[in-house]
Amino acid sequence: RIVYVNGTYLPENEAMISIFDRGFLMADGVYEVTSVLDGKLIDFAGHAKRLERSLNELDMPRPACLPDLLEIHRELVRLNGIEEGMIYLQITRGAPGDRDFVFPDPETCMPTVVLFTQNKPGLANSPVAKTGIKVISVADQRWARRDIKTVQLLYPSMGKMMAKAAGVDDAWMVEDGMVTEGTSNNAYIVKGNTIITRHLGNEILHGITRAAVLRFAREAQMHVEERSFSIAEAQAADEAFITSASAFVMPVVEIDGAAVGAGTPGPVAARLREIYLDESRKVAV
Ligand code: PMP
């Protein structure tokens, strides 16, 4: 696989990053994951915009020296012949000469920019979308700025391990009795004709797929409520699902051992998945 590091396309085993990189030492970096369908980027503009916001929130404003990211995404997809899969982009504050809590002078610091692809044939036609996934609830013990897409993924990773130990697919995180989001996705329930998902704030990542799916839902005259909900309300819902750039819309059929609705994927999630895939393919770049 060919990867991109700081201006160079090279084989993955030749790519190198300094041990002083602040991404490595301090999780001082941000990332984006964009899916690729038909060899094209899905929702790229949304991911680019959120990346810019994450950088700004961390006083790591997009340096003038940052390369044209769309161009690099496209070139890497081409070099690796990706038809269906994902592309990962990470930007860290870079590698000053030594470990220091103080940010390096923004004038001298060059960010570390890394991109790599993941080939996932059959991503859109995932058989899991037909059976749905099971989740457990876990306490949300992440930091308080989850709206910034940092590479600080230790707690979400621990959440996935708790899910694995419980024999299920993922975990929904709960804070003050309310669901925040999944370990790497936004969480939704459906009751009657209403789609319910947590309102935006610092407590959750502002999902790019979330924004698109809510827009398509409203355009299709579905009713949307942006508010928090509890695990008990989710277990009593007609349907549940998650969204993310790599899972698109994925039904959730069981929460903490209780079946949601009939315990099988529901019609609203299936319809939203279809609309999302159709519409985003049309405008892919
Ligand atoms: N929440 C969290 C915590 C995530 O990690 C992700 C995926 N990166 C999402 C939500 C979904 O965001 P998106 O639709 O932009 O992939």
CB 184 less than 6 A from any atom of ligand 1: yes
| Dist CA 236 CA 211 (whole Å) | 25
Global pTM exceeds 0.90: yes
Per-residue three-class SS string for 95-115: CCCCCCCCCCCCCCCCCEEEE
| Dist CA 112 CA 140 (whole Å) | 30
| Dist CA 42 CA 215 (whole Å) | 15
Domain ranges of the chain: 2-119, 128-282
Fold of 2-119: D-amino Acid Aminotransferase; Chain A, domain 1 (3.30.470)
Among residues 246, 260, 262, the alpha carbon closest in space to that of 128 is found at: 246
Domain 128-282 has CATH 3.10.290.10: no
Q: How far is the CA of 155 from the centre of ligand 1 (A)?
A: 14
Residue 107: per-residue pLDDT: 78
Q: Which of 69-73, 93-97, 221-225, 258-262 has the lowest mean pLDDT?
A: 93-97
DSSP characters over 126-158: -THHHH-EEEEEEE--S-S-TTS-BS--HHHHH
Count of Cβ atoms closer than 10 Å to residue 273 Cβ: 22
How many degrees, rounded to 5, is the angle at CA 209 between CA 261 and CA 195? 35
Q: Give the pLDDT band (50/70/90) at residue 215.
A: very high
Residue 65 has pLDDT above 90, yes or no: no
Q: Mean pLDDT, to the nearest integer, of 162-183?
A: 98
- The 10s digit of each residue's pLDDT in 91-146 is 999 998 899 999 988 777 789 999 999 999 999 999 999 999 999 999 999 999 99
**What are 163's two structure tokens?**
């899910």
Residues 31 and 91: beta-carbon distance below 8 Å: yes
Ligand 1 atom closest to Cα of 47?
Answer: 15
Average pLDDT, the chain: 96
Q: How far is the CA of 149 from the centre of ligand 1 (A)?
A: 8
Give one word for 176, left, alpha or beta, with left for phi > 0 and alpha for psi -120 to 50: left
Considering 40, 49, 149, 164, which one is annotated as catalytic?
149
Residue 105: per-residue pLDDT: 84
Ligand 1 atom closest to Cα of 181?
Answer: 1
CA dihedral 46, 246, 140, 153 (to 10 degrees): -90
| Dist CA 156 CA 139 (whole Å) | 11
**What are 238's two structure tokens?**
């007609």
Tell whether ipTM is more than 0.90: yes
Q: 198-221 in b/e burial notation, b at 16+ Cβ within 10 A?
A: beeeebbbbbbbbbbbbebbeeee
- The 10s digit of each residue's pLDDT in 192-204 is 999 999 999 999 9
Given the DSSP bridges, would you call strands 85-92 and 29-37 parallel, antiparallel or unpaired? antiparallel
Q: Please give the single-letter amino acid code of residue 117.
A: T
| Dist CA 183 CA 139 (whole Å) | 11
Residue 63: per-residue pLDDT: 63
Q: How far is the CA of 108 from the centre of ligand 1 (A)?
A: 32
CB 160 less than 6 A from any atom of ligand 1: no
Residue 82 has pLDDT above 70, yes or no: yes
> What secondary structure letter does DSSP report for 182?
E
Q: Give the pLDDT band (50/70/90) at residue 285.
A: very high
